[in-house]
Chain A
Amino acid sequence: MTGDTKAIKDHAALADAFNADEPRVNWHDETLWFIRQKRDKAAHTIPDWEQLRETASRIKHNVLSNLHDYLLQFESNAKANGIIVHWAADAAEHNQIVHAILQKHKVDRIVKSKSMLTEECHLNDYLAENGIEVIDTDLGERIVQLAKEPPSHIVLPCIHKKKEEIGDLFHEHLGTPAGMADPQVLTEAARQHLRETFLTRRAALTGVNFAIAETGEFVICTNEGNADMGAHLADVHIACMGIEKLIPKREHLGVFLRLLARSATGQPITTYSSHFKKPREGHELHLVLVDNGRSTQLGRENFRNSLKCIRCGACMNTCPVYRRSGGHSYHTAVAGPIGSILAPNLDMKKNADLPFASTLCGSCSNVCPVKIDIHDQLYKWRQVIVKEGYADKKKRLGMKAMTQAFASPTTFQLAGKAGRWFMRNVPFVVNNNLNPWYKQREMPAPPKESFGEWYQKNRKKTDE
């Protein structure tokens, strides 16, 4: 697949490496399939589920078509509530804004709850380079932070890690007994360790799940309570959000909060759905609105619907490729099907492989709570990537040759013994041992005659 783009990370190669350990692939697949099943069960408790998805989708379509005005409305209401609003055109500006707020308050250690946006902007690295220590407080994020890895899933950051590996990390960093791998004990150790951290950090950074134009408030959903622990104990709360997270009215939360957790984990709702409208008396509440390519994506007619995403992760859990290749094989902050339609907008060359990391089975579009046509967009990104010249040269030539060969019915039919032409011309059956088809699969056995030949002999005369 890589050909002329060897230096760039490639999904197929990373997936191949992931598949070297088959029992682990089985474990990863089963774990995520279990979550998909929980999601199914939760969805089936709501007879109106499909109508709920449709409603959410329509609200989001309205948001995208009126985003300019909603942003202004939100800004003015948030300011009236006492929230300090910032605008960041890109990741770099986002990081600078956050850094400047921390500098102003002379803070060099912060707590952070889950925010895929800050992953996208590589905020932790930036702050570390500027001498600011960030402690991720979501348990899964803390685990991958200790392991010096990025999250492999937007909702379940360390879903790729086995409890024994987490036990080893905690033994090294938090002093749990060697060999201890009981989730209960490990979670308790993290609770103790992070409680101390919450109590000693003066600034907290959080993401945002929904921001409401009508009221200027924003909502953060967690199960652990870490966003609230951070925000309510710190002097300064900085919340970072992509501009697409807006929804028009507070009542729309009724729709989205019914869908979010059920789609994500099969829970009826997250433990905490916290609505932040005003800062705590005498404290600062900052909100950073980030574009970072979103306004460009908004202009891509075929791909703008990807901005409807509410980051539930259901498309990853259901994706048969994600489950068998792992989140890191997508080499981007947001993995899986949704990541594969978002990432090419940010960097088409670097992410040219991702829309091809799919069989287009369509399960992602079916589980999506806001009905993003994910698999259709994957198909459309493939067309764009090829047209923009990011397709591998060998593949380009192969496709041209195949097209030409097919163009002539006569060549196709006169190729001689059935299958022979195919073996020569169609990439997935090329008959040699170097062919990836043959590595773990037998070739189809060519029959005595093709259907066309059979038809000539057995039916043609009666037609005429």
Chain B
Amino acid sequence: MSSRDSILAAVARNQPELLPLQEVPSFASEEANLGEKFSTVAVSIGSKVFRVQSIEEAKQILLKEHSGARRVISVFPEFADVAEASPVSDTDPHTLADVDLAVLPAQLGVAENAALWVTDAQLPLRVLPFICQNLALVVPQQNIIPLMHHAYDVIGAQEYGFGTFIAGPSKTADIEQSLVLGAHGARTLSVFILV
């Protein structure tokens, strides 16, 4: 018997009587102002949050915040004069090693944990939001939802090859529980809430 079959046989033999899968109760949030909740949590996990009216406004802020950035990648046409357009999908991901700033849209933001959902629909290359030194994500205010349950309601059966929630800059507290931002991924995360 193959290992597959022997494992499956052992599992079938040993699993208890079926316990039905119940519906997940509808968890709700009493949070009145989702944008504010999102911002408070985002700041607490090391993100910078800006409320902007336009991508252009976000661009001006980023140019100031990251004035030293040499290589910038953005999928937004507003950045065409200061950034490379998104690389084509068969680009060698290693060539992104020197990206200083990546500016990308996020599909939705979650108020309870300030996580932002992006999939390969927003990511020209999967490694981009991790390998860049600094990351900026833009989310429309109306796409901020209260809890993770709501996030998965929106995501539903969405098709993607890769998707990720990003909540803040890369971090570690492995050395004596001292929080250090910028472990292996982006050192900073700027979130632009588009109102």
Contact = CB atoms under 8 A, between A and B. Distances in A.
Contact of B176 (A51, A89, A162, A250): A162
B77 to A, nearest CB: 25
B33 interface: no
A390 to B, nearest CB: 22
A97 B20 CA distance: 35
Contacts of A194: 184
Given A68-B11, A199-B97, A304-B16, A253 B174 contact: no
A265 B190 CA distance: 23
B175 A229 contact: no
Interface stretch (A183-191, A334-342, A429-437): A183-191
B178 interface: yes
Contacts of A250: 152, 155, 157
Interface in B44-86: 45
B168 A62 contact: no
Given A187-B172, A223-B170, A229-B127, A195 B184 contact: yes
Interface string A292-312: 000110110100100000000
Interface in B114-155: 114-115, 125-127, 130-131, 147-153, 155
Contacts of B93: 232-233
Nearest to A275: B163
Given A223-B171, A232-B93, A183 B180 contact: yes
B173 A254 contact: no
A89 B1 CA distance: 11
Contacts of B148: 253-255, 257-258, 269
Interface in A65-95: 65-68, 71-72, 87-89, 93
A166 B14 CA distance: 45
Contact of A139 (B13, B41, B168, B183): B183
Interface residues of A, number: 92
A187 B183 contact: yes
Contacts of B94: 199, 233
A67 B127 CA distance: 33
The contact size tier of chain B is 35 or more
Given A68-B15, A250-B152, A139 B174 contact: yes
Interface stretch (A53-61, A377-385, A444-452): A53-61
Interface centre among A188, A251, A301, by most chain B C-beta atoms within 10 angstroms, is: A251
Interface string A408-422: 000000000000000
A224 B184 contact: yes
Contacts of B90: 281-282
B24 A71 contact: no
Contact of A224 (B10, B20, B22, B183): B183
A31 B178 CA distance: 10
Contacts of B8: 68, 71-72
A183 B10 contact: no
B174 A34 contact: no
Contacts of A279: 161
A109 B89 CA distance: 26
B2 A229 contact: no
Nearest to A251: B152
A195 B170 CA distance: 13
A183 B21 contact: no
A267 B172 CA distance: 12
A426 to B, nearest CB: 40
Given A162-B176, A278-B162, A229 B185 contact: yes
B14 A299 contact: yes
A271 B169 contact: yes
B43 interface: no
A280 interface: yes
A156 B175 CA distance: 9
A224 B186 CA distance: 9
Given A61-B19, A281-B89, A265 B127 contact: no
Contacts of A62: 18-22
Nearest to A97: B3
B12 interface: yes
A47 B128 CA distance: 37
Contact of B162 (A93, A139, A253, A277): A277
A223 B169 CA distance: 8
Contacts of A301: 16
B25 A51 contact: yes
Interface string A440-459: 00000000000000000000
A291 B112 CA distance: 36
Contact of A71 (B11, B20, B177): B11
Q: Kindly name the residue among B113, B164, B183 whose own CB sees the greatest number of chain A CB atoms within 10 A.
A: B183
Nearest to A138: B174
B27 A48 contact: yes
Given A268-B167, A272-B165, A277-B163, A225 B21 contact: no
B186 A225 contact: yes
A205 interface: no
Interface of B: 2-4, 6-8, 10-22, 24-25, 27, 30, 41, 45, 89-90, 93-94, 97, 110, 112-115, 125-127, 130-131, 147-153, 155, 157, 160-178, 180, 182-186
27 contacts: A55-B22, A58-B22, A62-B19, A67-B11, A68-B8, A72-B8, A139-B172, A139-B183, A159-B177, A183-B176, A187-B183, A199-B97, A224-B170, A225-B183, A243-B7, A251-B152, A254-B147, A254-B151, A257-B165, A267-B45, A271-B168, A271-B169, A273-B165, A274-B163, A277-B163, A289-B7, A304-B14
Nearest 8 interchain pairs by C-beta:
A225-B185, A299-B14, A268-B113, A224-B183, A140-B174, A232-B127, A295-B10, A278-B161
Given A272-B130, A282-B90, A295-B11, 4 more contacts: A62-B22, A223-B172, A226-B183, A275-B164
